[in-house]
Amino acid sequence: MQAATKAEIKHQLYAVAYREGKSSLQFKIPTKVDLDGIAKTEAYLQEKLNALYLDNILPIETIPEGQDFDEQIRLFCPNFKDMFNPR
Protein backbone atom coordinates (compact mmCIF):
# COMPACT_ATOMS: atom_id res chain seq x y z
CA MET A 1 0.00 0.00 0.00
CA GLN A 2 2.95 2.34 0.60
CA ALA A 3 3.95 2.00 -3.05
CA ALA A 4 0.49 3.14 -4.09
CA THR A 5 0.57 6.26 -1.96
CA LYS A 6 4.03 7.12 -3.28
CA ALA A 7 2.85 6.55 -6.90
CA GLU A 8 5.52 3.89 -7.42
CA ILE A 9 3.16 1.31 -8.91
CA LYS A 10 3.56 1.06 -12.68
CA HIS A 11 2.05 -1.05 -15.45
CA GLN A 12 3.73 -3.90 -17.27
CA LEU A 13 3.02 -5.64 -20.58
CA TYR A 14 2.26 -9.24 -19.70
CA ALA A 15 0.83 -10.52 -22.98
CA VAL A 16 -0.07 -9.35 -26.47
CA ALA A 17 -3.56 -10.21 -27.72
CA TYR A 18 -4.05 -10.74 -31.46
CA ARG A 19 -6.24 -12.40 -34.06
CA GLU A 20 -5.17 -14.24 -37.19
CA GLY A 21 -7.88 -13.75 -39.77
CA LYS A 22 -11.27 -14.58 -38.26
CA SER A 23 -9.86 -16.84 -35.55
CA SER A 24 -10.51 -16.39 -31.86
CA LEU A 25 -8.40 -14.10 -29.73
CA GLN A 26 -4.91 -15.47 -29.08
CA PHE A 27 -2.18 -14.38 -26.69
CA LYS A 28 1.59 -14.40 -26.90
CA ILE A 29 4.50 -13.28 -24.77
CA PRO A 30 5.69 -9.81 -25.86
CA THR A 31 8.72 -9.79 -28.13
CA LYS A 32 11.48 -7.18 -28.36
CA VAL A 33 9.54 -5.55 -31.22
CA ASP A 34 6.46 -5.24 -28.97
CA LEU A 35 8.49 -3.77 -26.11
CA ASP A 36 10.32 -1.38 -28.45
CA GLY A 37 6.95 -0.21 -29.77
CA ILE A 38 5.81 0.59 -26.25
CA ALA A 39 9.04 2.50 -25.56
CA LYS A 40 8.51 4.57 -28.73
CA THR A 41 4.92 5.24 -27.72
CA GLU A 42 5.97 6.39 -24.25
CA ALA A 43 8.60 8.74 -25.73
CA TYR A 44 6.08 10.18 -28.20
CA LEU A 45 3.53 10.67 -25.45
CA GLN A 46 6.07 12.52 -23.28
CA GLU A 47 6.66 14.95 -26.17
CA LYS A 48 2.92 15.58 -26.59
CA LEU A 49 1.86 15.49 -22.93
CA ASN A 50 1.63 19.25 -22.35
CA ALA A 51 -0.52 19.70 -25.45
CA LEU A 52 -2.84 16.91 -24.26
CA TYR A 53 -3.25 18.70 -20.92
CA LEU A 54 -3.72 22.13 -22.47
CA ASP A 55 -6.30 20.85 -24.96
CA ASN A 56 -8.09 19.12 -22.07
CA ILE A 57 -7.81 15.75 -23.83
CA LEU A 58 -6.16 14.21 -20.76
CA PRO A 59 -7.90 15.43 -17.59
CA ILE A 60 -5.60 16.53 -14.77
CA GLU A 61 -8.20 17.29 -12.10
CA THR A 62 -8.00 15.58 -8.73
CA ILE A 63 -10.63 12.92 -8.19
CA PRO A 64 -12.99 14.46 -5.64
CA GLU A 65 -13.94 12.57 -2.50
CA GLY A 66 -17.55 11.55 -2.19
CA GLN A 67 -17.89 10.62 -5.84
CA ASP A 68 -18.66 7.02 -6.77
CA PHE A 69 -15.00 6.06 -6.58
CA ASP A 70 -13.63 3.48 -4.22
CA GLU A 71 -10.93 4.72 -1.85
CA GLN A 72 -8.44 2.26 -3.40
CA ILE A 73 -8.86 3.95 -6.77
CA ARG A 74 -8.05 7.29 -5.14
CA LEU A 75 -4.85 5.78 -3.64
CA PHE A 76 -3.62 4.45 -6.99
CA CYS A 77 -5.03 7.29 -9.09
CA PRO A 78 -5.28 10.59 -7.20
CA ASN A 79 -5.91 12.45 -10.49
CA PHE A 80 -8.04 11.41 -13.45
CA LYS A 81 -4.91 11.40 -15.68
CA ASP A 82 -3.45 8.62 -13.54
CA MET A 83 -6.12 6.21 -14.82
CA PHE A 84 -4.48 6.14 -18.26
CA ASN A 85 -1.29 4.44 -19.42
CA PRO A 86 0.68 5.15 -22.62
CA ARG A 87 -0.98 2.31 -24.55
Q: Please count the structural domains in the chain.
A: 1
What is the average pLDDT across 42-54?
Answer: 89
Helix ranges (DSSP H) in the chain = 2-5, 32-54, 71-76
Which is more confident, 55 or 12? 55
Contact 63, 71 (CB under 8 A): no
Residue 61 has pLDDT above 90, yes or no: no
Residue 26 has pLDDT above 90, yes or no: yes
What is the average pLDDT across 58-72?
Answer: 72
What is the average pLDDT across 64-81?
Answer: 70
Contact 13, 28 (CB under 8 A): no
Domain span at residue 25? 2-83
